[in-house]
Structure 1
Amino acid sequence: MRKIIGKLMLGIMGWKFTLSIPLEKFKKCVLVCAPHTSNWDFYYCIACFWSLGVPYKIMIKDDYTKPWYGFIFKSLGCLGVNRKSRNNLVEYSAKLIKESKSMALINTPEATRSWSEKWKKGFYYIALEAQVPIVLAYADYKNKEAGISKIIGVENNSIQEIFSEIENFYNPEMAKYPEKYNPKIF
């Protein structure tokens, strides 16, 4: 049912979804979604994953999962994260991935919908500890297209090489609000 709803959501909004990587290549991964400049990014992300039928978890501020309506976000696969406290989030996230048969852990490393000086690096450390690839997803508002199109292995690359590759993949023109996206991510 979710597959149909996801495809319907994208169709109604006039968006298309592009999958450039075979599904089995990212059964377990840390999936980076960028640019993240609008709350609409969340809905396009959900629609894409529902249309694929891939199990996922999304890390969001726990402000969304704690109130009375938090059950809605939790039912959508959201994990509330308290960014103010140190709570071994890397270890916890890596364990979630390792223990599942199939899971994409969705992460928006900009950590805000506003201008960000640099990205948070936790997604890299989660992928490294879980021994899974980083997969790049995007929402291109200019072309009304969302997609998953690049896999980056973490085992043989330095963090600088990986961040440089990611930086070259995304551009501000993709964002709903290009002025809020910083193309220099590290």
Structure 2
Amino acid sequence: MIHVISKFIFHKILGWKIDGSFRGDIKKYVLIGAPHTSWKDFPIAILTRNVIQIPIDFVGKASLFKPPFGFIYRKLGGTPVDRTKSSNFVDSVVQIYNEKEEFRLGISPEGTRKLAKKWKTGFYYIAKGANVPIVMFAFDFGNKTIKVAEPFYTTHDKEADFAHFLSFYKDVKGAKPELFNAENLL
């Protein structure tokens, strides 16, 4: 029922479409969503996930998953990360990939809805550490389209990899276009 309602809202009421295909046959990948410029991105992402019917997870600080509302974050696909341990964020998330049979992490490389001078690189090192591909998707508010790329495996050339990301995102218009500068990913 959630799928049908989400499709109706996503396509008919909001007028959005999906260009590309989210891969359900690949059980583990890092899904980077940009530009992240508005609160609207999260509900659009949740609707998209319901439309495609592929589990997409996210991580958050462990305190978010405590009662009374923690069950909501888990129900939405959240996994807690304990930042009080001595391990860093990348290592903690790589450990989640190693422990799960299926894990598709949705993450914003900007790390904020404000103008980011440079992307955070955690998603890149998570993909490298977990040996999983990166799937890029864009919130293109200019065309009301969720744009999806084919899975991309990182190389040993970080600059070339980020140039590949730039080529995907360069013409995308976020909800607030002035808050996204694809020229400065690194």
| TM-score bucket (shorter structure) | 0.7 to 0.9
Deviation of 1:136 after TM superposition, in Å, equals: 0.2
Match of 1:16 in 2: 17
Q: How does 1:26-105 map to 2 (within 5 A)?
A: 26-60=26-60, 65=65, 68-79=68-79, 87-105=87-105
Q: How far apart, in 1, do the equivalents of 2:179 and 2:84 lie? A: 23
Match of 2:169 in 1: 170
Q: Name the aligned partner's letter for residue 119 of structure 1.
A: W
Deviations 1:121-172 (A, max 9, x none): 1111111111100110111101111132232111x34221111111221136
Deviation of 1:174 after TM superposition, in Å, equals: 1.8
Distance 1:5-1:86 versus aligned 2 partners, 3 A rule: farther
Deviations 1:2-30 (A, max 9, x none): 43243233122111122346532x43100
Q: So what's the TM-score if we normalise by structure 2?
A: 0.84
Deviation of 1:80 after TM superposition, in Å, equals: 5.3
Contact 2:57 2:77 (8 Å CA) reproduced: yes
Match of 1:158 in 2: 157
How many equivalent residue pairs? Answer: 184
Q: How far apart, in 1, do the equivalents of 2:143 and 2:80 lie? A: 31
Contact 2:139 2:172 (8 Å CA) reproduced: no
Deviation of 1:39 after TM superposition, in Å, equals: 1.0
Match of 1:127 in 2: 127
Contact 1:172 1:179 (8 Å CA) reproduced: no
Q: How far apart, in 2, do the equivalents of 1:177 and 1:84 lie? A: 34
Deviations 1:25-50 (A, max 9, x none): x4310000000001111111111112
Q: So what's the TM-score if we normalise by structure 1?
A: 0.84
Deviation of 1:75 after TM superposition, in Å, equals: 1.7
Contact 2:81 2:92 (8 Å CA) reproduced: no
Q: Name the aligned partner's letter for residue 45 of structure 2.
A: C
Contact 2:18 2:147 (8 Å CA) reproduced: yes
Q: Name the aligned partner's letter for residue 19 of structure 1.
A: G
Deviations 1:66-95 (A, max 9, x none): 684443233211345688996422122122
Match of 2:118 in 1: 118
